[in-house]
Amino acid sequence: MKENRLKSWGFEEFPTEDPRIINYIGLESPENKMTSYEIFPGVFVLYISLKKKYNANNSSADGNRGYRIAYGYEGNFFTYINNTKVLITTNEIFVGRSIPNSKFSSTTSHRTTAFNIVIADKILDKNSPYFPYIGEFIYKFKNVKDMGCAIKNEDLVKLANELIQALKERDMLFIKLKSLELIYRIGKVGINPSKTNYFTPGGDKLMEEVEKYMKENLDKNLNLDHLAKKFKISKSTLNTKFTRSFQYTPMKYIQRLKLIYSEDLLINTDKSILEISNDLNFQNPSNFNRAFKDFTGLSPSQYRKQNEPE
Protein backbone atom coordinates (compact mmCIF):
# COMPACT_ATOMS: atom_id res chain seq x y z
CA MET A 1 0.00 0.00 0.00
CA LYS A 2 1.38 3.41 -0.99
CA GLU A 3 2.37 5.67 1.89
CA ASN A 4 0.80 9.10 2.12
CA ARG A 5 2.59 10.82 4.95
CA LEU A 6 1.36 14.31 4.06
CA LYS A 7 -2.35 13.53 3.64
CA SER A 8 -3.30 15.70 6.61
CA TRP A 9 -1.26 18.50 5.01
CA GLY A 10 -3.40 18.16 1.87
CA PHE A 11 -0.91 16.35 -0.41
CA GLU A 12 -0.60 12.94 -2.03
CA GLU A 13 2.82 11.31 -2.22
CA PHE A 14 4.38 10.07 -5.47
CA PRO A 15 7.79 8.36 -5.03
CA THR A 16 10.22 8.53 -7.95
CA GLU A 17 12.81 6.12 -9.29
CA ASP A 18 15.37 7.99 -7.20
CA PRO A 19 14.63 7.12 -3.52
CA ARG A 20 16.06 10.51 -2.50
CA ILE A 21 13.31 12.39 -4.39
CA ILE A 22 9.57 12.37 -3.63
CA ASN A 23 6.91 14.41 -5.46
CA TYR A 24 3.71 15.64 -3.79
CA ILE A 25 0.51 16.85 -5.48
CA GLY A 26 -2.31 18.73 -3.77
CA LEU A 27 -5.40 16.63 -3.02
CA GLU A 28 -7.85 19.51 -3.55
CA SER A 29 -5.73 21.57 -5.95
CA PRO A 30 -3.48 19.43 -8.19
CA GLU A 31 -1.81 22.68 -9.34
CA ASN A 32 -0.18 22.78 -5.90
CA LYS A 33 3.01 20.75 -5.98
CA MET A 34 6.01 20.03 -3.78
CA THR A 35 9.20 18.02 -4.24
CA SER A 36 11.36 16.68 -1.43
CA TYR A 37 15.08 16.06 -1.95
CA GLU A 38 17.26 14.19 0.53
CA ILE A 39 20.52 15.90 -0.39
CA PHE A 40 22.56 14.20 2.34
CA PRO A 41 21.56 11.69 5.03
CA GLY A 42 19.67 13.84 7.54
CA VAL A 43 19.36 16.93 5.32
CA PHE A 44 16.19 17.45 3.27
CA VAL A 45 15.07 20.26 0.95
CA LEU A 46 11.36 20.71 0.23
CA TYR A 47 10.55 22.82 -2.84
CA ILE A 48 7.07 24.34 -2.59
CA SER A 49 5.25 25.56 -5.72
CA LEU A 50 1.61 26.46 -5.04
CA LYS A 51 -0.66 27.95 -7.71
CA LYS A 52 -3.79 28.12 -5.53
CA LYS A 53 -4.40 29.43 -2.03
CA TYR A 54 -3.67 26.74 0.51
CA ASN A 55 -4.73 26.03 4.07
CA ALA A 56 -4.64 22.97 6.29
CA ASN A 57 -5.76 22.32 9.85
CA ASN A 58 -4.32 19.96 12.46
CA SER A 59 -1.65 18.59 10.14
CA SER A 60 0.62 15.82 11.33
CA ALA A 61 3.12 13.49 9.69
CA ASP A 62 5.67 10.87 10.62
CA GLY A 63 8.53 13.15 9.67
CA ASN A 64 11.89 14.37 10.87
CA ARG A 65 12.47 16.78 13.73
CA GLY A 66 15.39 19.15 13.92
CA TYR A 67 16.14 22.57 12.47
CA ARG A 68 14.35 24.46 9.71
CA ILE A 69 15.61 27.06 7.26
CA ALA A 70 12.73 28.50 5.24
CA TYR A 71 12.41 31.17 2.58
CA GLY A 72 9.54 32.56 0.53
CA TYR A 73 10.61 33.56 -2.96
CA GLU A 74 7.06 34.54 -3.86
CA GLY A 75 4.01 34.88 -1.63
CA ASN A 76 3.66 34.49 2.15
CA PHE A 77 3.12 31.39 4.24
CA PHE A 78 1.84 31.21 7.84
CA THR A 79 2.30 28.08 9.92
CA TYR A 80 2.47 27.04 13.56
CA ILE A 81 5.41 25.52 15.39
CA ASN A 82 3.64 24.11 18.45
CA ASN A 83 1.84 27.22 19.82
CA THR A 84 3.87 29.86 17.99
CA LYS A 85 2.60 31.29 14.71
CA VAL A 86 5.42 32.06 12.26
CA LEU A 87 5.52 33.82 8.91
CA ILE A 88 7.66 32.56 6.04
CA THR A 89 8.01 35.50 3.68
CA THR A 90 10.08 37.19 1.02
CA ASN A 91 13.31 39.10 1.56
CA GLU A 92 14.26 37.36 4.83
CA ILE A 93 15.35 33.91 5.99
CA PHE A 94 13.48 32.07 8.73
CA VAL A 95 15.53 29.82 11.02
CA GLY A 96 13.92 27.76 13.76
CA ARG A 97 12.81 24.34 14.86
CA SER A 98 11.28 21.80 12.48
CA ILE A 99 8.45 19.61 13.70
CA PRO A 100 6.21 17.47 11.44
CA ASN A 101 2.89 18.94 12.61
CA SER A 102 1.01 22.23 12.68
CA LYS A 103 -2.39 23.22 14.03
CA PHE A 104 -2.91 25.56 11.07
CA SER A 105 -1.03 26.50 7.88
CA SER A 106 -2.06 28.88 5.11
CA THR A 107 -0.83 31.01 2.24
CA THR A 108 -1.99 34.56 1.58
CA SER A 109 -2.21 34.46 -2.21
CA HIS A 110 -2.77 32.15 -5.19
CA ARG A 111 0.94 31.90 -6.01
CA THR A 112 3.54 30.82 -3.48
CA THR A 113 7.08 29.64 -4.22
CA ALA A 114 9.26 28.69 -1.26
CA PHE A 115 11.58 26.12 0.25
CA ASN A 116 12.16 24.42 3.57
CA ILE A 117 15.52 22.94 4.47
CA VAL A 118 15.19 20.43 7.32
CA ILE A 119 18.31 19.39 9.21
CA ALA A 120 17.52 16.27 11.24
CA ASP A 121 20.46 16.52 13.61
CA LYS A 122 19.76 13.17 15.30
CA ILE A 123 20.45 11.20 12.11
CA LEU A 124 23.29 13.26 10.62
CA ASP A 125 26.50 11.39 9.85
CA LYS A 126 29.07 13.28 11.90
CA ASN A 127 31.91 11.50 10.08
CA SER A 128 30.74 12.69 6.69
CA PRO A 129 32.94 15.26 4.86
CA TYR A 130 29.97 17.66 4.64
CA PHE A 131 29.30 17.68 8.40
CA PRO A 132 31.80 20.47 9.27
CA TYR A 133 29.78 22.82 7.04
CA ILE A 134 26.60 22.01 9.00
CA GLY A 135 28.12 21.61 12.46
CA GLU A 136 28.65 25.34 13.03
CA PHE A 137 25.02 26.04 12.12
CA ILE A 138 23.81 23.49 14.68
CA TYR A 139 26.11 24.91 17.34
CA LYS A 140 25.02 28.51 16.71
CA PHE A 141 21.30 27.69 16.73
CA LYS A 142 21.21 24.92 19.33
CA ASN A 143 19.15 27.07 21.72
CA VAL A 144 16.53 28.07 19.17
CA LYS A 145 13.06 27.09 20.33
CA ASP A 146 9.75 27.06 18.49
CA MET A 147 9.46 30.62 17.23
CA GLY A 148 12.90 30.84 15.66
CA CYS A 149 14.05 34.09 14.13
CA ALA A 150 13.89 36.02 10.88
CA ILE A 151 17.29 36.98 9.44
CA LYS A 152 17.39 39.95 7.09
CA ASN A 153 20.63 39.76 5.13
CA GLU A 154 20.99 40.68 1.45
CA ASP A 155 23.73 38.13 0.77
CA LEU A 156 21.71 35.30 2.31
CA VAL A 157 18.57 36.30 0.38
CA LYS A 158 20.60 36.33 -2.85
CA LEU A 159 21.87 32.83 -2.05
CA ALA A 160 18.31 31.68 -1.23
CA ASN A 161 17.17 32.95 -4.64
CA GLU A 162 19.97 30.95 -6.27
CA LEU A 163 18.73 27.84 -4.44
CA ILE A 164 15.19 28.53 -5.72
CA GLN A 165 16.60 28.63 -9.27
CA ALA A 166 18.37 25.29 -8.71
CA LEU A 167 15.09 23.81 -7.44
CA LYS A 168 13.19 25.13 -10.46
CA GLU A 169 15.78 23.46 -12.72
CA ARG A 170 15.66 20.21 -10.70
CA ASP A 171 19.46 20.16 -10.72
CA MET A 172 20.40 17.85 -7.83
CA LEU A 173 24.08 18.80 -7.71
CA PHE A 174 23.24 22.52 -7.85
CA ILE A 175 20.62 22.01 -5.09
CA LYS A 176 23.21 20.27 -2.90
CA LEU A 177 25.84 22.98 -3.40
CA LYS A 178 23.51 25.91 -2.77
CA SER A 179 21.81 24.28 0.22
CA LEU A 180 25.12 23.45 1.87
CA GLU A 181 26.45 26.95 1.19
CA LEU A 182 23.31 28.54 2.64
CA ILE A 183 23.47 26.39 5.80
CA TYR A 184 27.16 27.21 6.22
CA ARG A 185 26.71 30.95 5.64
CA ILE A 186 23.78 31.16 8.08
CA GLY A 187 25.93 29.37 10.63
CA LYS A 188 28.65 32.00 10.13
CA VAL A 189 26.15 34.85 10.58
CA GLY A 190 24.66 33.23 13.68
CA ILE A 191 21.94 34.75 15.80
CA ASN A 192 21.56 38.06 17.59
CA PRO A 193 21.95 37.21 21.32
CA SER A 194 19.15 39.64 22.22
CA LYS A 195 16.71 37.39 20.35
CA THR A 196 17.20 34.53 22.82
CA ASN A 197 15.02 36.34 25.37
CA TYR A 198 12.02 35.46 23.25
CA PHE A 199 12.81 31.78 22.71
CA THR A 200 10.11 30.48 25.04
CA PRO A 201 6.78 28.89 24.14
CA GLY A 202 3.94 31.08 22.89
CA GLY A 203 0.25 30.19 22.87
CA ASP A 204 -1.08 33.12 24.90
CA LYS A 205 -4.86 33.49 24.41
CA LEU A 206 -4.74 37.23 25.06
CA MET A 207 -2.12 37.63 22.32
CA GLU A 208 -4.43 35.78 19.94
CA GLU A 209 -7.07 38.41 20.71
CA VAL A 210 -4.51 41.15 20.02
CA GLU A 211 -3.69 39.61 16.63
CA LYS A 212 -7.41 39.31 15.78
CA TYR A 213 -7.92 42.98 16.65
CA MET A 214 -4.97 43.96 14.44
CA LYS A 215 -6.40 42.07 11.45
CA GLU A 216 -9.78 43.75 11.89
CA ASN A 217 -8.28 47.24 12.06
CA LEU A 218 -5.62 47.41 9.37
CA ASP A 219 -7.08 50.71 8.18
CA LYS A 220 -6.46 52.28 11.60
CA ASN A 221 -3.32 53.95 12.87
CA LEU A 222 -2.67 51.41 15.64
CA ASN A 223 0.26 51.99 17.97
CA LEU A 224 1.72 50.28 21.02
CA ASP A 225 0.16 52.75 23.47
CA HIS A 226 -3.30 52.12 22.06
CA LEU A 227 -2.92 48.32 22.12
CA ALA A 228 -1.52 48.28 25.66
CA LYS A 229 -4.38 50.45 26.91
CA LYS A 230 -7.09 48.48 25.11
CA PHE A 231 -5.86 45.09 26.35
CA LYS A 232 -4.89 46.38 29.82
CA ILE A 233 -1.27 45.27 29.68
CA SER A 234 2.04 47.09 29.96
CA LYS A 235 3.87 47.92 26.73
CA SER A 236 6.94 45.89 27.69
CA THR A 237 4.87 42.82 28.57
CA LEU A 238 2.86 43.18 25.37
CA ASN A 239 6.05 43.36 23.32
CA THR A 240 7.54 40.28 24.98
CA LYS A 241 4.41 38.10 25.01
CA PHE A 242 3.37 39.00 21.48
CA THR A 243 6.83 38.25 20.06
CA ARG A 244 6.81 34.87 21.79
CA SER A 245 3.50 34.03 20.12
CA PHE A 246 3.92 35.67 16.70
CA GLN A 247 7.65 35.93 16.00
CA TYR A 248 7.64 39.74 15.54
CA THR A 249 7.03 42.72 17.80
CA PRO A 250 3.42 44.04 17.63
CA MET A 251 4.27 47.05 15.48
CA LYS A 252 6.39 45.06 13.03
CA TYR A 253 3.64 42.43 12.81
CA ILE A 254 0.99 45.06 12.04
CA GLN A 255 3.17 46.45 9.27
CA ARG A 256 3.61 42.97 7.78
CA LEU A 257 -0.14 42.35 7.86
CA LYS A 258 -0.70 45.64 6.06
CA LEU A 259 1.93 44.87 3.44
CA ILE A 260 0.52 41.38 2.84
CA TYR A 261 -2.93 42.91 2.37
CA SER A 262 -1.49 45.55 0.05
CA GLU A 263 -0.08 42.73 -2.14
CA ASP A 264 -3.63 41.44 -2.57
CA LEU A 265 -4.94 44.93 -3.39
CA LEU A 266 -2.21 45.48 -5.98
CA ILE A 267 -3.01 42.21 -7.74
CA ASN A 268 -6.79 42.03 -7.43
CA THR A 269 -7.98 45.65 -7.58
CA ASP A 270 -7.44 48.68 -9.79
CA LYS A 271 -6.76 50.93 -6.82
CA SER A 272 -3.89 53.33 -7.26
CA ILE A 273 -0.81 53.08 -5.08
CA LEU A 274 -1.87 56.33 -3.41
CA GLU A 275 -5.31 54.89 -2.58
CA ILE A 276 -3.79 51.71 -1.16
CA SER A 277 -1.34 53.73 0.91
CA ASN A 278 -4.18 55.84 2.30
CA ASP A 279 -6.48 52.84 2.91
CA LEU A 280 -3.82 51.19 5.05
CA ASN A 281 -2.99 54.38 6.94
CA PHE A 282 0.61 54.81 5.86
CA GLN A 283 1.84 58.33 6.54
CA ASN A 284 2.44 58.97 2.86
CA PRO A 285 3.07 57.05 -0.40
CA SER A 286 6.85 57.36 0.03
CA ASN A 287 6.70 55.52 3.36
CA PHE A 288 4.48 52.86 1.79
CA ASN A 289 6.82 52.44 -1.20
CA ARG A 290 9.86 52.14 1.05
CA ALA A 291 8.23 49.63 3.42
CA PHE A 292 6.83 47.56 0.55
CA LYS A 293 10.18 47.32 -1.23
CA ASP A 294 11.92 46.40 2.02
CA PHE A 295 9.33 43.64 2.55
CA THR A 296 9.14 42.17 -0.97
CA GLY A 297 12.28 43.39 -2.73
CA LEU A 298 10.08 45.14 -5.32
CA SER A 299 8.35 48.52 -5.51
CA PRO A 300 4.51 48.39 -5.52
CA SER A 301 4.43 49.22 -9.24
CA GLN A 302 7.01 46.51 -10.03
CA TYR A 303 5.06 44.00 -7.94
CA ARG A 304 1.80 44.81 -9.74
CA LYS A 305 3.46 44.50 -13.15
CA GLN A 306 5.15 41.21 -12.26
CA ASN A 307 1.81 39.73 -11.16
CA GLU A 308 -0.27 40.83 -14.13
CA PRO A 309 -2.39 37.99 -15.61
CA GLU A 310 -0.58 36.20 -18.42
pLDDT tens digits in sequence order for the chain, 310 residues long: 455 677 888 899 999 999 999 999 999 999 999 999 999 999 999 999 999 989 888 777 666 789 999 999 999 999 888 778 888 998 899 998 887 778 888 898 888 999 999 999 989 988 889 898 999 999 989 887 666 888 989 999 999 999 999 999 999 999 999 999 999 999 998 876 555 444 455 558 899 999 999 999 999 999 999 999 999 999 999 999 998 888 899 999 999 999 999 999 999 999 999 999 999 999 889 999 999 999 988 899 999 998 877 6
The answer to whether 132 and 183 have CB atoms below 8 angstroms apart is no
CA distance 97 to 118: 9
Q: Which helix (H) or strand (E) holds 223?
A: none
First to last CA, the chain: 41
Residues near 277 by beta carbon (within 8 Å), at least 6 away in sequence: 284, 285, 287, 288
Domain boundaries, the chain: 11-195, 205-306
Q: Enumerate the β-bridge partners of residue 55.
A: 106
pLDDT for position 193: 54
Per CATH, the number for 11-195 is 2.60.120.10
pLDDT for position 199: 45
Phi and psi of 79, rounded to 5°?
-150, 170
DSSP 104-130: EEEESSS-EEEEEEEE-GGG--TTSTT
CATH of 205-306, one of 1.10.10.60, 3.40.50.720, 3.30.750.24, 1.10.230.10: 1.10.10.60
CA distance 203 to 194: 21
pLDDT for position 98: 85
Give the Å distances, CA to CA, from 296 to 72, 93, 178, 264: 10, 12, 22, 13
Exposure string over 161-198, b if 16+ CB within 10 A, otherwise e: eebbebbeeeeeeebbebbbebbbbbbeeebeeebeeb
Phi and psi of 284, rounded to 5°?
-165, 165
Give the Å distances, CA to CA, from 203 to 78, 84, 161, 200, 304: 15, 6, 32, 10, 36
The answer to whether 276 and 262 have CB atoms below 8 angstroms apart is yes
Q: Report the SS3 class of residue 1.
A: coil
The answer to whether 45 and 33 have CB atoms below 8 angstroms apart is no
CA distance 162 to 263: 24
CA distance 163 to 169: 10
In angstroms, how far is CA 52 from the centroid of its own chain?
Answer: 17
Strands, DSSP E only, in 134-288? Answer: 149-151
